[in-house]
């Protein structure tokens, strides 16, 4: 029997359709339909100045809105050959980690909601409000912060603000342990989460999953390790686990919150004085940059023409995580209720993923395909150039040649 | 007697369904924040169901995308009378930044379903959302209910 869930469902924050193939209560296969939030952001960005594009980049996704602007700015900074001043880099780290904490807390509280554990849902959501306060104190807004500009950040933070953030962080740190213990040692929660929705390391590699989901399955990779700010100024080590089940994913997120809190304390204590913004003359060229969003790696590929964006391509983590969730985590789940919790534990962000429409130019038909179909087809049939012939046809204005190399991205080393 | 009783009940028991028809998630995150103990929607008798068949208030977020063209009307038809539609954020009102050349959105929402109230902001604060629902919903539901009863 096929059981459809969504696009509007109490357990899902965002519109998406889960088609579960069931045998009695047991889920044996899952299929995911998306495309409900496709707005055409990349197309709108073409031919606009960065001031307009950064505003759009922020609105790709509401939960990890910060990381998108940072990666966007850093890509253009890379093209122009400059780096933000140290104080701006520190402020970026502070905002980034605050954003990561709130996103992870939200993901965990949604997971508890799907488990029907109201107490933990409310308590974790309450804890998140302190982080939202800190973000508002620093940037002036709760969700879409408008904090990054090319060459630095928009405003300076005063010492009293940083102190207030530090005290809020300490409060969260003190209370987090209690909530983690409540989840970690609870026997009934253990029964609902341990061994449910297992994704092994090999499957994580095959599915190209990234972020906390991959790290919970034993892939020890966090892009912050390779980011210049974290390399130069911080002592950062990725958090990872081996189990690969719902429990591991939730605990991995908690452990990442702890590591983010340590990074934040380090950053607030050692923040240098100086400029927060450097004037940048945007050059023409092509650049790629990656950043670690709360859900995994975000890649920006931008081609600029002077001050204007000629072509932009954004690769967000959720597109791989959703598909590996459907293919591997939901392949053998005991009940439908567990399938919904498994889906929530993968922390999908649909708004991020919705920038893909595959056009078959041979008969001018729009067809939607999942990630596995695409990667299989393009690895077998087409070369990378063909892929760009297709995307070139979609955007006739620009001639891209083969600068974007998707195949490199699809392979996991 | 029955009508006054209905009015009182409708004022203090509002069931809400959130419909994200193509937004960036920001408004939905703020709606989830409304559930947190600090804002606590439920103390005002508002309960988030996310089931259009039980909803009194439909909260619409996001600029309408291609997939929601028909689905939005269908969801509106599924909700029982009397119902109130509140548009949360800038997207359902104008399409915000997505209503530009190249964007694939069909905002405003009022082209598809009747909208009773709108909360501007990108995204609006949880307290503003709460304020708007409480200001509009009880009166509007009671008033629409009275028209239907006649």
Q: What is the pLDDT of residues B98-127, one digit of tens each?
A: 888 888 888 888 889 999 889 998 889 999
Please determine, for residue A12, whether its predicted confidence score (pLDDT) is greater than 80.
no
Task: List A residues 60-99 in contact with B (Cβ-Cβ < 8 A).
Answer: 60-63, 65
Q: Which of A10, A14, A39 sits opposite B20 (nearest CB)?
A: A14
- Using pLDDT thresholds of 50, 70 and 90, give the confidence band for residue B40: confident
Residues of A in contact with B25 (CB under 8 A): 13-14, 61-63, 349-351
Computed over every residue of chain A, the mean pLDDT equals 82
Q: Report helix, strand or coil for A31.
A: strand
pLDDT tier, A172 (very low <50, low <70, confident <90, very high otherwise): very high
User: Contacts by A27-30 with C-beta closer than 8 Å and gap 24+?
Assistant: A27/A330, A27/A332, A27/A333, A27/A334, A27/A335, A27/A336, A27/A338, A27/A339, A28/A331, A28/A332, A29/A330, A29/A331, A30/A326, A30/A327, A30/A330, A30/A331, A30/A339
User: Which range among A224-228, A355-359, A375-379 shows the weakest confidence by mean pLDDT?
Assistant: A355-359
| CA A57 – CA A39 distance, rounded (Å) | 12
Q: Cβ separation of A62 and B98 shorter than 8 Å?
A: no
Q: Which of these ranges, A21-25, A216-220, A366-370, B49-53, has the smallest mean pLDDT?
A: A366-370
Mutating which of B18, B24, B42, B53 best tests the A interface, going by the most A Cβ atoms within 10 A? B24
Burial A368-398 (b: 16+ CB within 10 A, else e): eebbbebbeebeeeeeeeebbebbbeeeeee
**Residue A251 pLDDT > 50, yes or no?**
yes
Q: What sign does the dihedral B78-B68-A60-A199 (CA atoms) show? A: positive
Q: What is the pLDDT of residues A387-410, one digit of tens each?
A: 444 444 444 433 333 334 344 343
* Cβ neighbours around A286 below 10 Å, total: 17
CA B15, CA B29: separation in Å to the nearest integer? 18
CA pair distance A95, A132, nearest whole angstrom: 11
Q: Which residues of chain B does A65 touch, with a Cβ-Cβ cutoff of 8 Å?
A: 24, 26
Length reported for chain A: 413
Q: How far is A384 from chain B (nearest CA, A)?
A: 25
Check if the beta carbon of residue A60 is closer than 8 Å to that of residue A68: yes
Residues 57-116 of B with CB under 8 A from A: 62-63, 65-68, 71, 75, 96-98, 100-105
Determine how β-strand B57-61 pairs with β-strand B84-88: parallel
What is residue B80's predicted lDDT score, i.e. its pLDDT?
Answer: 86
Q: What is the ipTM of this complex?
A: 0.91
Is residue A126 classed exposed, middle or buried when 0-12, 13-18 and 19+ CB atoms within 10 A define those classes?
middle
Residues of A in contact with B125 (CB under 8 A): 142
Average pLDDT over residues A173-202: 89
DSSP reduced 3-state for B56: coil
pLDDT computed for residue A400 by the predictor: 38
Residue B50: its chain A contacts at CB < 8 A? Answer: 8-10, 12
pLDDT score at B139: 77
pLDDT on residue A318: 84
Percentage of chain A lying above the pLDDT 70 cut:
85
Report DSSP letters for A101-120, one per residue.
Answer: HHHHHHHHHHHHHHTT-HHH
Per residue in A97-148, pLDDT (tens digit) is 999 999 999 999 989 988 888 888 999 999 999 999 999 999 988 888 889 9
The per-residue DSSP string of A85-97 comes to: -HHHHHHHHHHHH
Q: Is 70 exceeded by the pLDDT of residue A379?
A: no
pLDDT band at A317; cut points 50, 70, 90: confident
The residue of chain A nearest to residue B90, with distances taken between CA atoms, is A59
Show residues of chain A in contact with B97, CB under 8 Å: 44, 55-56, 59
d(CA B76, CA B55): 10
CB B128 within 8 A of CB B121: yes
- Flag if A349 and B23 touch (Cβ within 8 Å): no
- What's residue A399's pLDDT? 37
Report, as an integer, the average pLDDT of A22-35: 83
Question: Alpha-carbon distance A271 to A265, whole Å?
Answer: 10
Selected residue of A6, A7, A17, A39 to mutate for chain B interface (largest B Cβ count, 10 A): A39
Q: What is the pLDDT of residue A26?
A: 87
Distance from CA of B144 to the nearest CA of A (A): 25
C-beta neighbour count of A155 within 10 angstroms = 15
Of A125, A132, A349, the CB nearest to B25: A349
Are residues A217 and A244 in contact, defined by beta-carbon separation less than 8 angstroms?
yes
Whether residues A351 and B25 touch (CB distance < 8 A) is answered with yes
Chain A with chain B: Cβ pairs closer than 8 A: 128
**What is the structure's pLDDT at A406?**
40
- Whether A143 and B29 lie within 8 Å, measured CB to CB: yes
State whether residue B118 is helix, strand or coil.
strand
How far is the C-alpha of A253 from the C-alpha of A251, rounded, in Å? 5
CB contact at 8 A, B49 and B80:
no
pLDDT band at A339 (very low <50, low <70, confident <90, very high): confident
Report the C-alpha gap between B109 and B75 in whole angstroms: 13
Percent of chain A with pLDDT over 90: 29
Our CA dihedral for A326, A298, A211, A120, rounded to 10 degrees, sits at -80
User: Which pLDDT does position A377 carry in this prediction?
Assistant: 58
Asked whether the beta carbons of A267 and A90 are under 8 A apart, the reply is yes
A253-294: pLDDT as tens digits: 999 999 999 999 999 999 999 999 999 999 898 888 989 999
Given CB atoms, is A20 within the 8 Å cutoff of chain B?
A: no
User: In whole numbers, what is the pLDDT of chain B averaged over residues?
Assistant: 85
Specify the pLDDT at position A404: 40
Is B20 in contact with A349 (Cβ distance < 8 A)? no
Structure tokens of A22? 């069931």
Sign of dihedral through CA atoms A123, A124, A127, A129?
negative
Q: B-contacting residues of A 104-143, CB under 8 Å? A: 106, 109-110, 122-123, 125-126, 128-129, 132, 142-143
**What does the alpha-carbon distance between residue A68 and residue B24 come to, in Å, rounded to a whole number?**
12
Mean pLDDT of B47-66: 86
Residue B12 predicted with pLDDT over 80: no
In terms of CA atoms, which chain A residue is nearest residue B61? A14
Residue-wise pLDDT for A75-109, tens only, equals 999 999 999 999 999 999 999 999 999 999 999 99
Interface test with A, best of B19, B22, B26, B74 (most A CBs within 10 A): B26
Three state DSSP letters for A50-85: HHHHHHHHHCCCCCCHHHHHHHHHHHHHHHHCCCCC
CB contact under 8 A, A39 and B122: no
As a whole number, mean pLDDT of residues B10-30 equals 85
pLDDT at A363: 58
H or E segment and range at residue B149 = helix B126-149
d(CA A67, CA A254): 19
A400: its two tokens: 């891209």
Q: Please, which pLDDT band fits residue B14 given cuts at 50, 70 and 90?
A: confident
| B 41-60 residues inside an 8 A Cβ radius of A | 49-52
pLDDT at B146 over 70: no
């Amino acid at each position: 029997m096929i059981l459809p869930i969504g696009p509007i469902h109490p357990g899902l924050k965002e519109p998406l359709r889960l088609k579960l193939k069931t045998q009695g209560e047991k889920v044996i296969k899952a299929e995911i339909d998306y495309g409900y939030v496709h707005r055409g952001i990349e197309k709108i960005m073409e031919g606009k100045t960065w001031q307009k594009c950064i505003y759009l980049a922020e609105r790709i996704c509401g939960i990890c809105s910060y990381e998108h602007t940072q990666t966007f700015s850093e890509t253009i900074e890379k093209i122009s050959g400059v780096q933000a001043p140290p104080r701006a880099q520190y402020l970026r780290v502070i905002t980034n980690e605050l954003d990561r904490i709130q996103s992870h807390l939200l993901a965990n509280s949604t997971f508890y909601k799907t488990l029907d554990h109201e107490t933990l849902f409310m308590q974790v959501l309450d804890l998140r409000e302190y982080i939202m306060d800190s973000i508002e104190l620093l940037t002036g807004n709760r969700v879409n912060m408008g904090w990054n500009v090319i060459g630095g950040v928009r405003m300076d933070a005063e010492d009293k603000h940083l102190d207030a953030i530090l005290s809020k962080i300490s409060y969260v740190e003190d209370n987090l342990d209690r909530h983690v213990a409540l989840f970690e040692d609870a026997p009934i929660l253990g029964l609902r989460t341990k061994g449910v929705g297992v994704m092994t390391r090999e499957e994580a590699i095959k599915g190209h999953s990234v972020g906390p989901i991959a790290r919970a399955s034993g892939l020890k990779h966090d892009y912050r390790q390779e980011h210049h700010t974290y390399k130069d100024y911080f002592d950062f080590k990725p958090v990872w686990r081996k189990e690969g089940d719902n429990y591991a994913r939730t605990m991995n997120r908690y452990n990442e919150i702890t590591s983010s809190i340590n990074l934040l304390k380090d950053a607030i204590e050692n923040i240098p004085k100086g400029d927060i913004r450097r004037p940048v003359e945007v050059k023409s060229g092509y650049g790629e940059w990656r950043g670690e969003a709360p859900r995994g790696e975000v890649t920006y590929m931008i081609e600029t023409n002077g001050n204007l964006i000629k072509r932009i391509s954004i690769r967000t983590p959720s597109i791989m995580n959703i598909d590996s969730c459907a293919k591997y985590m939901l392949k053998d789940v005991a009940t439908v209720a567990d399938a919904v919790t498994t889906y929530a534990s993968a922390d999908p962000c649909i708004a991020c993923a919705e920038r893909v429409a595959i056009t078959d130019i041979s008969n001018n038909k729009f067809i939607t395909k999942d990630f596995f179909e695409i990667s299989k087809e393009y690895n077998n049939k087409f070369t990378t150039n063909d892929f760009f012939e297709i995307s070139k046809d979609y955007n006739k204005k620009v001639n891209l040649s083969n600068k974007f190399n998707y195949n490199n991205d699809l392979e996991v080393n | 007697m029955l009508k006054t009783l209905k009015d009182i009940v409708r004022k203090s028991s509002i069931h809400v369904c959130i419909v994200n028809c193509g937004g960036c998630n920001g408004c939905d995150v703020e709606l989830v924040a409304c559930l947190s103990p600090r804002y606590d929607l439920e103390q005002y008798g508002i309960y988030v169901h996310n089931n259009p068949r039980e909803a009194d208030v439909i909260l619409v977020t996001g600029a309408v995308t291609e997939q929601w063209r028909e689905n939005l009307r269908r969801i509106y038809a599924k909700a029982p009378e009397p119902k109130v539609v509140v548009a949360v954020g800038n997207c359902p009102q104008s399409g915000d930044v997505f209503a530009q050349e190249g964007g694939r959105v069909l905002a405003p929402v009022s082209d598809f379903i009747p909208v009773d109230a709108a909360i501007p902001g990108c995204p609006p604060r949880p307290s503003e959302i709460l304020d708007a629902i409480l200001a509009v919903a009880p009166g509007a539901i009671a008033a629409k209910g009275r028209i239907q009863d006649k």
